[in-house]
Chain A
């Protein structure tokens, strides 16, 4: 596209009163190297007249607009001109609303912002989507339990082809082993027949769903839209192409053999899973002698909520034991079901179920810390408990004990194995080999042929659950196009799992639809740009392949990186990682930002500080501070970046060698409770930042001149002061000696 520029300065919202527009025009023309004629001003650009004014220019061929007005976060509809490059320069929030009007500071700030905007527009290009050929829209669902079946049915009902892979010989998972099911709907009073059976029928008769039973995934290769999945069934392998994956691999009951302290191993101590099987068969009897059990004790949190076992709550065991207490009572009206709980957890309307189940003469409940199970003779047992509602220390006889064991996600074993491997790898090749030789390899689920490993990477503090790290976005994983559903993600009831499974199916559909249009998936689900490396200059250092949070970059046999573009989320971490600075997006590149930095006017007598701000959180926070009219330090120049992970160290060199006095990097929180929308972006920026010292040392500059700060969008009230403090620190250090050069 041949660019025809138009630069527009809005005088509304106080901009006209804050800066000398005439001076600004001259300066922008000079430094931005554009003709002063194309720099136009208007009273209110977003008004109907203002927009008409812009549209007239567009009609006359202007296709690259630099609009100096308000923040790009507002008036987005008004300034949306499809087919053009429209660069918004934030003169209102960052100048008019936060600076002393008509001060020289405000003026030079506006000058710099305008010039940076022009340069950005000059360097940028109109993007075109990258659509790969031969894309598949088939959805692969791994796991034929209630979650997987639901995902498969939902996707098929939405018009997509589905492949369902189940490890066992029959579909249904744990849901098919149940005698009865916890009610899912108001009034939550009656036990339901397991819903899974009708769903199995539906899924087996659906022409759009192809089912593989007794099957595992041997290999998953490729990228969303082009995932080649090798399915192994009864010794034979078949490779099929799918577009996206729902991973509903389910869970296992916690290994009860580890619960010896709760009596597991004694003949009349069983788990809640065994209880379902027994109830399904008929009477509730004691394994030791087959006699009908009349005093059944349920031990809640058997393994769950226990730092030595599962440090989380398994969510459904309370309702399950209440349900099983009903089994005991229904099958024998003289029998008692005693439930020993830490807390009864029947959240939401499940409370109504608790209320109903509890209202039975033979269902007895007490809060208790069960300390042990001892023999009471004749196969009977004593439940020993402290801190109960019945007394401080009690003993109750039972003829059958049911341990309400919790859940372990199917993802846990492979994740732990791989985490162990990584740890061993850090210690060297010997340790790694030793690990590989001595550690039994668990069953993998995805077997991804990806650079960064065969499974979805662990989420810190998630105990192997393939959960999303976000509250607001429940289907985030670090493997694009692979969405977790059901208990592999969080402990959940059947009712919750079916909702979740439907959601995961939708995300898979979105993914195949987006890659078909060459659009990124969440969180930049509108973005058609993509990283386009200048491979000639690549040194195969592999930093990009290691750092990409989504394992979107592979290496060929020679070790040269190449993109699996449909895995890419467009965060630009690769761009930040690349020491050769070869990764570029059409509207965002090392050179583009570098040029913006270099365009900043550095005066010998003035301090100049650059703030690189994450556009998702830090930038809106700065905007929000401006809306509150909190003054921003005038020495600061704010440049938004896609994610702080895209920060390339060369920008630091660029800035300091040019005479910039300080640089502040604003990213999101990282670590266990990260808020980075690209999961690892800000953390990688921090990792890179640790090298900034080296860079500054080389320049013989104080490392304090550069600071990385984790900031949340809600910290707008503190952010201006944080900047102020940083500027003061830099001023204390003194001007950058490079200024004089």
Chain B
């Protein structure tokens, strides 16, 4: 057999990791290209998975271990694909490696963060707190190597970190580099972004402090989040004990996202458990159009519904206002089954915001066509190119894993065809 062609996986989130690891464990070489400084993607920002309520870092730890123990997997972080040309068996890919300003000598001691004078909004926590320009997102991040944000860092004029680093790990002169790869197959796994809820002008996001997104809720509940896991509302840090969840915030709405985002029903039910577990006297009300808990997820729905402090009401919230004096949030909805319009006050409101394929905003170069909503249609892809997970349609982690494992066999077939 000729030399085995590598498989390029664009995106190091859970789908991409799975595709790469599964490909490699079947005996083929995989290279992951990840845009951010760390692997793991969206799931690293989650507190728990539904319906098991288990921590995402548990599965990530195993997958990172699989990567550490497998010489057939390579990865680049802070890497962007600039061009893809060629065909199955012979794709030429140009990758731009953005500078991390910290090299492999980094031991993860935190000295650079300690001395860094620059505060910047913490994107990992959706801007709910600040971080230093020299940082690591969280203590289970992989690779466990710090990064300096080039946009915020004051550069050589400051260089306090360079002085503080005992391991010669910081190089503020680092420049972008270009890597050229020749691969046999390409897996597109660039994942999803949260819908920009400020576009929902009637729901107050961005204007009303105590209206947050479901992803912000994940960060609030996470032990490695901005409040160390305490669910406190942004306006005054008060314990948020009475929360409304607004389902389909952007989803199933042709003015925004015409499709259903799949995960939001389960996510809100799950987040209801965060609150109920944290504050025994807390109350949750979920406003929905249809509760979508397919398969055995139904059981999770029943379990949450059983809690007398959790109410589910059919009706889409279409108006949210703020009580400026208290910071409370007023929600107006029609309780469809009762046929009544109600307005209620809550400590905080969580918008179950939808999923947007990352390719809606940033296309992957290389003859790929997209739907109006930015999704990739598998059958339109060139031979030797495959899309996984949320790039094709909104799905949860479980389905992404099934899909990414399924795509791994396609990469093997592709390698076999061209090998």
Contact = CB atoms under 8 A, between A and B. Distances in A.
Q: Check A-B contact in the complex, CB < 8 A.
A: yes
Interface of A: 12-14, 44, 46-48, 70, 73-77, 154-155, 157-159, 185-187, 305, 311-315, 343-352, 355, 367, 387, 389, 461-463, 465, 467, 470-475, 490-492, 496, 498-507, 509-510, 513-514, 522-523, 525-526, 616-617, 620, 624, 627-628, 669, 673, 675, 677, 712-717
Contact of A506 (B22, B53, B105, B314): B22
A712 B55 contact: yes
A506 B409 contact: yes
B398 A474 contact: yes
A471 B398 contact: yes
Contact of B58 (A305, A490, A714): A714
A185 B377 CA distance: 7
Interface string B388-419: 00000111011101111111111011001000
A343 B292 contact: yes
Interface stretch (B65-73, B94-102, B125-133, B237-245): B65-73
User: Closest 5 A-B residue pairs measured CB to CB?
Assistant: A472-B59, A502-B406, A503-B405, A714-B55, A526-B69
Given A387-B337, A503-B409, A311 B379 contact: no
Contacts of B409: 154-155, 158, 502-503, 505-506, 509
Nearest to A343: B290
A620 B61 contact: yes
B394 A315 contact: no
9 contacts: A311-B298, A349-B394, A471-B398, A502-B405, A522-B25, A616-B61, A624-B139, A627-B139, A714-B47
A348 B295 contact: no
Given A76-B68, A185-B378, A500 B26 contact: no
Given A186-B375, A349-B394, A503-B401, 15 more contacts: A13-B109, A44-B107, A77-B68, A154-B409, A312-B295, A343-B290, A345-B293, A347-B292, A351-B258, A471-B59, A474-B405, A498-B406, A503-B406, A507-B22, A522-B25
Nearest to A495: B393
B152 interface: no
Nearest to A527: B69
B223 A715 contact: yes
A300 to B, nearest CB: 11
B49 A461 contact: no
B383 to A, nearest CB: 13
Interface in B333-350: 336-337
Interface string B100-125: 00000101110000000000000000
A223 B130 CA distance: 54
Interface of B: 14, 22, 25-27, 47-49, 51-63, 66, 68-70, 105, 107-109, 139-140, 144, 166-168, 222-223, 228-229, 252, 258-262, 290-299, 302, 314, 336-337, 371, 375, 377-379, 393-395, 397-399, 401-410, 412-413, 416
A620 B60 CA distance: 11
Contact of B393 (A348, A490, A669): A348
Nearest to A354: B260
A106 to B, nearest CB: 17
A158 B185 CA distance: 14
A186 B357 CA distance: 14
A352 B375 CA distance: 13
B262 A347 contact: yes
Nearest to A71: B144
A505 B412 CA distance: 11
Given A344-B290, A472-B62, A507 B140 contact: no
B139 to A, nearest CB: 4
A344 B289 CA distance: 9
A713 B395 contact: no
Contacts of A349: 259-260, 375, 393-394
B406 A499 contact: yes
A543 B26 CA distance: 34
Nearest to A47: B105
A347 B294 contact: yes
B295 A501 contact: no
Contact of A496 (B259, B291, B399, B401): B399
A513 B26 contact: yes
Given A506-B409, A714-B57, A312 B416 contact: no
Contacts of A617: 58, 61
A346 to B, nearest CB: 7
Contact of A500 (B14, B397, B402): B402
B144 to A, nearest CB: 5
Contacts of B59: 470-473
Contacts of A387: 337
Contacts of B298: 305, 311-313
B397 A12 contact: no
Contacts of A616: 58, 61-62
A298 to B, nearest CB: 16
Contact of A159 (B228, B394, B403, B416): B416
Given A491-B295, A509-B26, A510-B22, A74 B144 contact: yes
Given A367-B314, A474-B398, A713-B57, A461 B252 contact: no
A301 to B, nearest CB: 10
Contact of B107 (A46, A505, A525): A46
B336 A14 contact: no
A470 B69 CA distance: 21
A347 B260 CA distance: 5
A514 B262 CA distance: 35
Nearest to A392: B337
Contact of B294 (A74, A311, A491, A675): A491
A355 B258 contact: yes
B279 to A, nearest CB: 17
Q: Which of A157, A465, A474, A500 has the most CB of B within 10 A?
A: A474
Contacts of B375: 186, 349
A522 B105 CA distance: 31
Contacts of A677: 62
Contacts of B58: 472, 616-617, 675, 712-714
Contacts of B140: 620, 624, 713
B355 to A, nearest CB: 9
Q: Which of B14, B140, B302 has the most CB of A within 10 A?
A: B140
Q: Which of A506, A522, A675, A717 has the most CB of B within 10 A?
A: A506
Contacts of A465: 296
Contacts of B61: 616-617, 620, 713
A470 B62 CA distance: 12
Contact of B296 (A490, A509, A526): A490
A74 B261 CA distance: 36
A470 B405 CA distance: 14
A95 B395 CA distance: 43
A462 to B, nearest CB: 7
Nearest to B140: A624
Contact of B407 (A76, A502, A504, A717): A502
A674 B278 CA distance: 21
Given A157-B413, A158-B413, A312-B296, A506 B26 contact: yes
Contacts of A496: 399, 402
A627 B108 contact: yes
Q: Which of B299, B406, B408, B412 has the most CB of A within 10 A?
A: B406
Contacts of B107: 12-13, 44, 46, 70, 74-75
B232 to A, nearest CB: 16
A12 B401 contact: no
A352 B175 CA distance: 46
Given A502-B406, A714-B223, A474 B413 contact: no
A387 B51 CA distance: 28
